[in-house]
Chains A and B, each alone.
Chain A
Amino acid sequence: MFAAEHIEWSYPDGYQALRDIDLNIARTESVGLVGANGAGKSTLLRLFAGIIPVTAGRISVDGMAYTPANLLRLRQKIGYVFQNPDDQVFMPTVYDDVAFGIRNFGHDEAFVEKKVAAILARLGIAELRNQLTHKLSGGQKRSVALAGVLVMNPDVIFLDEPTAFLDLKGRRSFINLMQAAENAKLLATHDLELVLELCPRVLVMDRGRIVADGPVAEVFSDKKFMESVSLEVPPRLQNN
């Protein structure tokens, strides 16, 4: 469903952030993306989200390649949850923010109302509907940011540090929500326990390359490998 082939990307100053990236994500598959700071996770996600243009290689969703001409249609198929919800939640009220995306695709107000009500109920934040966004807590903003992306029902969602700003209860709600969501997901995170719970498959990045791609327990249990990429075996697997 989602495919990236021979992706390379460099910053304007010449620093090569991504090297020879190849990956596929199947429909409904949840994949974790981990790596030390500076490994290229966020850059990769931004490329997949269409925020930075593809300069080498090919990315496609359901066979539709990432080109400027396809960008609007692609935006309906891909969702991106920013690391900082303050960058994503910008409308005055929760309702307007969640409705923003679907309104941009020309749906009538009755449809928008129905969709927004459904997603707010699904995320358990229906009571925030008329709340002003600048009065929300960090966790609430995170939930609203997620709602704004999920309401568009994208085929694939890219999430950058999705559990940042969440307390334990919020984190658990997020995990339950992601487990129930049928969209394909790629989660970039430092939270290895989250990946263990949510993702059967994990990609490990190091210095712009994907250096491991496999079942999460198998990859995370390899202590030597994890240390070589500046990670640690998660506590849950340390006694295995």
Chain B
Amino acid sequence: MNKLTRAALQFRMMEELADGDSYVHHLTPLAKLLTTLFFVVTVISFDLYDISGLWQFAVYPLFFMIIGDIPAGVLGAVLAIALPLTLFTGLSNIFFNQHIWLQLGPLPITYGMLSGLALVLKCVLTVSAVTVLMATTKLADLCNTLRFLHVPNVFTFQLLMCFRYIRVLLEEAEQMSAAYRLRNPLGRGIQLRYFGEILGQLLLRSYARAGRIYTAMQCRGFQGAGHMDHIVLLDWRSLIYLAAVGAGICLGRFFNAALLIEKLLNQ
């Protein structure tokens, strides 16, 4: 399976997952959005060098991945895109901040290492939380909820259209790649001399197809936004979820489980 096909499959998998039937899927988009935002803000609020308090937040994405039937591979694929830049930034912290925090025998643990690790942890936690949200909520429902929260329509519309366009782009790229390979069976990948032309064609074809799809949407009454009249904001199940998860996040922010366990062990 080539990279394009794999990328297209992973992309479609998110749409497939969002159509699931677990407890998490039946929660309202607003409840999931609010908890995700609260989680992200809380994780980011941790001090630059605070690692011990961050680990316990892994419970949130892990728990909801299990009950939401979200495969670990999906998270892995998303992290593979998000992590490299964070890793690079984290590594540069190690290079620029070499003040020693702790000497473990011959190995110095610097503040740069701490902040680099904290950065990576924060990235993993926040990306995981957003992945859980995307894998358990349809994008159209999410956009309608954002509009209800008075996020300008131009942003939600762009988000929806970008998502659709990425799908179209991947499908067209797959088709062109297959057509190329069928007439270039001995070659490995697209030759450099054709790359520019093929890329140009890809952009033109995907743009044209996206235009046709948008026309089809307009023909069925789409005017840039879905109807908000029948959005269910919060039901009893979502209220309980919101209260429980919100309380859990607050507890995690103010009580460091690792330090508590250490205290208990020392006692």
Decide if A and B are genuine partners: yes
Q: In the complex, which residue of chain B has the Cβ closest to the Cβ of A109?
A: B230
18 more A-B residue pairs beyond the given contacts A105-B221, A106-B230, with a C-beta to C-beta distance below 8 A: A49-B219, A50-B219, A51-B215, A75-B219, A82-B216, A84-B212, A87-B209, A88-B213, A92-B16, A92-B18, A96-B140, A101-B220, A101-B221, A104-B221, A104-B223, A108-B229, A108-B230, A130-B19
Give 25 A-B contacts (CB < 8 Å), ordered by A residue. A49-B219, A51-B219, A72-B223, A75-B219, A80-B219, A84-B212, A86-B209, A88-B213, A88-B216, A90-B216, A92-B12, A92-B15, A92-B16, A96-B140, A100-B220, A103-B226, A104-B221, A104-B222, A104-B227, A130-B19, A132-B12, A132-B19, A148-B220, A149-B220, A152-B220
Question: Which residues in B have their C-beta under 8 angstroms from that of A93?
Answer: 19
Question: Which residues in B have their C-beta under 8 angstroms from that of A105?
Answer: 221, 227
In the bound complex, CA of A79 to CA of B18 (Å) = 29
Interface membership of B99, Cβ < 8 A: no
Partner of B220, one of A75, A86, A96, A106: A75
CB distance from B196 to the nearest CB of A (A): 27
In the bound complex, CA of A21 to CA of B15 (Å) = 44
Contact B212 A82 (CB under 8 A): yes
Q: How many positions in chain B have a CB within 8 Å of any CB in the partner chain?
A: 24
Per-residue CB contact flags for chain B residues 159-185 toward chain A (1 = under 8 Å, else 0) read 000001000000000000000000000
Per-residue CB contact flags for chain B residues 217-250 toward chain A (1 = under 8 Å, else 0) read 1111111001101100000000000000000000
Question: Which residues in A have their C-beta under 8 angstroms from that of B218?
Answer: 51, 75
Majority secondary structure of chain B interface residues (helix, strand, loop or mixed): helix
In the bound complex, CA of A88 to CA of B215 (Å) = 9
In the bound complex, CA of A105 to CA of B222 (Å) = 9
Question: Which residues in B have their C-beta under 8 angstroms from that of A86?
Answer: 209
Question: Which residues in B have their C-beta under 8 angstroms from that of A103?
Answer: 226-227
